[in-house]
Structure 1
Amino acid sequence: MGYRPRPKVRKALLVGSALAVLGGLNAPAAIGFARHEYHRYRIDQPAYKAAYGHWDLLAMPAKYRVNSIHATLLPTGDVLLIAGSGNNIRHFEGGSFDSTLWDPAHGTFKKIPTPKDLFCGGHAQLPDGRLLIAGGTAAYEVLKGDVKRAGGAMFVKDEDPDHSRTFPKGTLFRSPAGQIYAAQRSVTVPHATKAVDPDTGEVTITPGQARVYVEASEDGPSHGTNTAEQYRIVGLTGRAADNFYGMAQRLGMDKRDFQGIREAYEFDPWSEKYVQVRSMKDARWYPTLVGLPSGKVLAVSGLDDVGQINPGDNEIFDPATRTWSAAPHEYFPTYPSLFTMRGDRLFYSGSNAGYGPADQGREPGMWNLRTGAFTPVPGLADSDALETSSSLLLPPAQKQQVMVLGGGGVGESSLATARTAIVDLGGTDPVWRPGPDLPEKTRYLNSVIMPDDTVFTTGGSRDYRGKGASDILRAQFYDPATNTLTRAASPTVGRDYHTEALLLPDGRVAVFGGDPLFGDKADTVPGTFQQRIEIYTPPYLYRTERPRLGTGPKTVARGAHATYPVRSALPVATARLIRPGSATHVTDIDQRSVALAFTRTRDGITVTVPDDPSLVPPGWYMLFVTDSRHTPSQGQWVHVP
């Protein structure tokens, strides 16, 4: 047999060989290369993986790569990556909208026809496993210096009580001075309402109205107006011209913000298709969708069809009828993090992403959906640094604890914080208490609930959208039981704006996206969207044994029992139902971990699902068991109807 050096000898030979090969190069380059090679060698050692885990880049064919803005784990085990136009205005103007379906178990990919620009919409898992996506992009922002044509909101009126009317995109409106403005999308105007006074017989007509964004037909500020005027609709004559008209207060050269759409779709994981459902009443861009204990979905916030933030007109989707209805009024900044809690309440952690004034809707609090009351929860440190922060319902959900991690200032602020904090919402008069600080000030941190009741956090940047090459190549675990952070292996790909992270059924974590504003430290080169997918294998998967959870009932009602076979060298310590993640903009409020009571049987365990729908909203979950070393099994899909 040939000579096989011992590990320490091999290490020395590796470094020595690297330095010898580079002997002719300059010293700093040689030393840097040697350090890099030694680091690669070190992180590939079994002992290192068992302590810190390991990262691998996914081999993804170029034709399936997308600018991943939204990522959802489906009950088929596939991951749906939605780009829409992918923050690329050329794709938007060309009508090129993308989605990719990835099967992690078999390593396959599939392009999915995408009917609308779902870029920056909202999404939530429905009880039957479909994914609801509502809102998206109707128009990209245009900075003030780049605005070529005057524009603004036009209110289209209808004084006919018997007829509504849809006006197509491109409909022209003429001002009294003869200036022409074109509708940037179609608009449906409801009919007027007619009321008769029972005493006098007097008839009152209240015009129906709808709003649409219009632009002048020619460039330049001379085609704008700062006065309220009535506009005739070009092409209408007679009574129609009298009944239908436009009204606008100001049509100017102001900055144009992103504008939302009203359309909503369901993605069917089994047919692998988008199916359009009834549109929302309000257009929304950057909304949050929240699954409720009833199985319905609440939609809040977002920029509307003229780029203004929604004032608090919220809506509820009923999956049984596929229709929307009004919800209690409450204002939030865009992409607010809202968590379903006990007692028909939602907790707003203060985490949000992007739009809204700094002095409105920023305070965390409890929102009672039955009464509409909002009760602030005080005591959060660095409360001015909640934008682009991460938050989650800590495992298990029965503890009713929410955690906030990192974050930054409103807008393009360089403010960032290393603060973490936890609030216990199970008792009266909840107050935030500090958690362990992150290793450094961090925005855009992704946080994932793990089967062993820890939280895995990764990535982020110190500055707004990674400015100044500030991406953070760190990862760590938070343990709620000890209130401590421990180091994990470092990722190799920087992630900041537009990133997502998901727990996979096999216990690994997949991380997607990354959209830095610039590509260099001096902030002079435009950034490139990160299309590579990196997968983290936690230390628990490098142990010699893990429990084997066999197949059992696929459907278990709340309050019911179910028995599953388990083969494990060590005793089973926990059983958890983990709701699959659906993430965008560092916001993933779908994920939650529910502790299951269980009894051991001769060949496995019998679990009991809690009967509280606010703890276990209807839908699909992954069932994991862990052994006494906290090593989890592979997840098994279970449906709670």
Structure 2
Amino acid sequence: MLVTVPLMAAVAVVNRPIVSLAADRYHEFTINRDSYKQKFGHWSLLRVPADFRVNAIHAAMLRTGKVLIIAGSGNNRDDFEAGTFRTVLWDPRTDEFTEVPTPTDLFCAGHTFLPDGNLLVAGGTKSYEVLEADITHAAGVMKIKNESPDFGARTFAKGTRFVAGNGRVYASRADVTVPAATKMTHGAHTMVHAGEAEVWVDAVDSGDAPIVREPAQYAIEGLTGNDKRNLYGIAEKITREKQEYGGDKTTYEFDPVAERYVRTGDMTEHRWYPTLATMPDGDVLAVSGLDEFGRMLPGVNERYQVDKKKWVPAPELKRVFPTYPALFLTEDEKLFFSGSNAGYGSDSEGRTPGLWDVAKNTFRTVPGLEDAAMTETSASVMLPPAQKQKVMILGGGAVGDSPVSTARTAIADLSEKQPRYRTGPDLPAPARYLNTVVLPDDTVFTSGGSSGYRGGPYRGRNRSDLLTAHFYDPAREEFREAAAPSVGRNYHAEALLLPDGRVVTMGSDPIYDSTGKNPGTFEQRIEIYSPPYLFQGDRPAIDGGPRAIERGRKAQFATPDGSRIRAARLVRPSAVTHGTDVDQRSVEVGVRRTPGGVSIAVPDSPGLVPAGWYMLFVVDGKGVPSKARWVRIV
């Protein structure tokens, strides 16, 4: 026995690779069987040419059938400093990729579709974060005041020096223009309101000596006479604390036909991590984000006037949210904040779910959410069909880089007089960064995510990516298993529905590698999922018909499959980043058989069916959808 046991152990060690190879081959055999695909679906990796492998931060399904993949600088400081910003287009019909010139860093911008099918992209990155360990010179935001109304705006060049009362000197990082003061007359009294502008300044001397932790006033070096009195700087603090990412204010409309970014007016505020939400009148509301100095915007929101292609302040809509809040347009023309968000903001203020009446700027809390403190990096989706007005929140974690996450789901029925969350079925595992995709058969496909922060450590494991996928059935209120992906997805990952009924997944930005000790590498592989309905035999087809339909009207479409069609859905395409996708929704449209085709009826509700382009699917009695036909709802 003393000889036999080691011998058997040695045989087991030698055979382990053979056993593993056999298991892998059997797994491949299993997942490629027709019976398996018909029940669980099938994953495949997309061949992406080396020149087009990018860090997918944002993705949008365009009305031309192509997918817009925006990297910007891709969370890569070297690319940012080199001015290397990238966008690529992928055509799922041909698997061809093309490069799109990207004028500024759209990394962590906001986006939403406009009624004409253009994608509005706003904000992005003006500066990268600087960690405390890398800061050698104290820095802070200097507010320059101009108390003179008589000599116009004044411009101060980069490197302008500000002198503290103790003689310490601080230099500006950029050119800055300070407007003149304004005079306001109230009866017999005239008041002067100083003009002001802000700029980063850095201490000329390194080390801790130049740190200032209290508000102070600073003289501008080189000024004399009245200028010296009227022009000065004020800083709240100048420290060696971490400097957050700074937001940009440039905006574009991406034209899917011309396949280029078209410059529009600047936002009124710089924004990084903002949400853009469609309003009932078709304009767009921009909320939240970090300003150019990395500060949370304190409820200062703004509106994009679509007809004028212009941003204007919206002081009447003051509301605080954390970054990338999930805001859904409801049938009664309110915005529902589900509680989902991504990354920055107070750990308490602005995180309560509720209905925001943008006509009156009133906010009604929607209570009942279990694990209410764990909504960061959660997913939210308007369950199909949208007429049910049910929004589901899935998973999430505690604020910041906490390792705590939840498997909780909850559903709010917004059609109720006093809506509240009620707990739904748990996810199979606690999950952050889960991606949700509404399918034309009225199910929701969930994939990816991780239990730990950015795929990092969780309950003793170095990596916590969830190599699982599931379907949520709203009618039965239950999850069922789908085929498992081969690529893990966490932070900076996306998933969206393609017009042929498949789902594409991309991105992922893990904090560590598999050892848990070294920095992670951005995932550039793209994986495509084919749901079980694509393995159920012939699909219904939808052919000729109008390209535009008015809300409240009917339209006829040709199809040889009229007798088997049982439903039709208008699916608004996705524009997704950081798990936030407030565009996608599936609207039930009435359908009846006509000679040679079907007639569909579009609901007459702008809150339910926002103007824009949709994928029209017809679905047979087995839940098998057609390929989509693009139609514009006006």
TM-score, normalised via structure 1 length: 0.93
- Residues 272/179 of structure 1: CA separation in 2 closer, same or farther (3 Å cut): farther
Contact 1:334 1:352 in 2 (8 A): yes
Match of residue 184 from structure 2: 195
CA distance in 2, matches of 1:569, 1:32: 50
- Partner AA of 1:105 in structure 2: R
- Partner AA of 2:53 in structure 1: R
The CA deviation at 1:25 is 7.0
SS of the residue 1:221 aligns to: coil
- Find 1:497's aligned residue among 478, 491, 498: 491
Match of residue 610 from structure 2: 617
- Find 2:378's aligned residue among 364, 389, 393: 389
Match of residue 551 from structure 1: 544
CA distance in 1, matches of 2:96, 2:231: 54
Unaligned runs of 5+ in 2: 1-10, 457-461
Taking the TM superposition and a 5 Å limit, the aligned residue runs for 1:578-589 are 578-589=571-582
Contact 2:562 2:593 in 1 (8 A): no
- Residues 378/626 of structure 1: CA separation in 2 closer, same or farther (3 Å cut): same
- Partner AA of 2:502 in structure 1: R
Alignment partner of 1:112 is 2:110: no
- Partner AA of 2:119 in structure 1: L
- Residues 209/630 of structure 1: CA separation in 2 closer, same or farther (3 Å cut): same
Taking the TM superposition and a 5 Å limit, the aligned residue runs for 1:323-342 are 323-327=310-314, 328-342=317-331
Q: Which moved more, 1:548-557 or 1:160-169?
A: 160-169
Match of residue 562 from structure 1: 555
Q: Which moved more, 1:531-540 or 1:183-192?
A: 183-192
The CA deviation at 1:110 is 1.1
Alignment partner of 1:35 is 2:37: no
CA distance in 2, matches of 1:265, 1:186: 24
Could you give the per-residue CA deviations for residues 130-165 of structure 1, whole angstroms, max 9, x where no partner exists?
A: 111111112222222222111111112223436234
- Residues 234/590 of structure 1: CA separation in 2 closer, same or farther (3 Å cut): farther
Match of residue 17 from structure 1: none
CA distance in 1, matches of 2:134, 2:113: 39
SS of the residue 1:222 aligns to: coil
Unaligned runs of 5+ in 1: 1-22
The CA deviation at 1:237 is 5.8
- Residues 226/372 of structure 1: CA separation in 2 closer, same or farther (3 Å cut): same
Contact 2:324 2:341 in 1 (8 A): yes
The CA deviation at 1:567 is 2.2
Match of residue 208 from structure 1: 195
Q: Which moved more, 1:432-441 or 1:158-167?
A: 158-167
The CA deviation at 1:255 is 1.3
Instruction: Please report the RMSD computed on the Cα atoms of aligned residues, expressed in angstroms.
Output: 1.8
Match of residue 7 from structure 2: none
Match of residue 249 from structure 1: 236
Alignment partner of 1:484 is 2:478: yes
Taking the TM superposition and a 5 Å limit, the aligned residue runs for 1:113-512 are 113-161=101-149, 163-167=152-156, 169-198=158-187, 200=188, 202-234=189-221, 242-327=229-314, 328-467=317-456, 468-512=462-506
The CA deviation at 1:596 is 0.8
- Residues 625/239 of structure 1: CA separation in 2 closer, same or farther (3 Å cut): farther
- Partner AA of 1:485 in structure 2: F
- Partner AA of 1:524 in structure 2: K
> Taking every aligned residue pair, what percent have the same amino acid on both sides?
50
Contact 1:545 1:569 in 2 (8 A): no
Q: Which moved more, 1:167-176 or 1:538-547?
A: 167-176
Could you give the per-residue CA deviations for residues 307-342 of structure 1, whole angstroms, max 9, x where no partner exists?
A: 111111111111111212223011111111010012
Could you give the per-residue CA deviations for residues 547-580 of structure 1, whole angstroms, max 9, x where no partner exists?
A: 1010311111111221111222852111111110
- Residues 307/76 of structure 1: CA separation in 2 closer, same or farther (3 Å cut): same
- Residues 41/385 of structure 1: CA separation in 2 closer, same or farther (3 Å cut): same
- Residues 278/182 of structure 1: CA separation in 2 closer, same or farther (3 Å cut): farther
Contact 2:437 2:445 in 1 (8 A): yes
Contact 1:160 1:243 in 2 (8 A): yes
Match of residue 630 from structure 1: 623
SS of the residue 1:270 aligns to: coil
- Residues 553/240 of structure 1: CA separation in 2 closer, same or farther (3 Å cut): farther
Alignment partner of 1:519 is 2:513: yes
CA distance in 2, matches of 1:338, 1:453: 21
The CA deviation at 1:448 is 0.3
Alignment partner of 1:61 is 2:55: no
SS of the residue 2:18 aligns to: helix
- Partner AA of 2:107 in structure 1: F
- Partner AA of 1:589 in structure 2: V
Contact 2:559 2:596 in 1 (8 A): yes
Match of residue 5 from structure 1: none
Match of residue 597 from structure 1: 590
Contact 1:445 1:457 in 2 (8 A): yes
Taking the TM superposition and a 5 Å limit, the aligned residue runs for 1:12-27 are 26-27=14-15
The CA deviation at 1:254 is 1.2
- Residues 627/537 of structure 1: CA separation in 2 closer, same or farther (3 Å cut): same
The CA deviation at 1:89 is 1.0
Contact 1:293 1:618 in 2 (8 A): no
The CA deviation at 1:233 is 3.9
- Residues 487/581 of structure 1: CA separation in 2 closer, same or farther (3 Å cut): same
The CA deviation at 1:186 is 4.3
The CA deviation at 1:90 is 1.1
CA distance in 2, matches of 1:26, 1:168: 71
The CA deviation at 1:240 is 5.2
Contact 2:562 2:597 in 1 (8 A): no
- Partner AA of 2:480 in structure 1: T
CA distance in 2, matches of 1:68, 1:85: 10
- Residues 518/237 of structure 1: CA separation in 2 closer, same or farther (3 Å cut): same
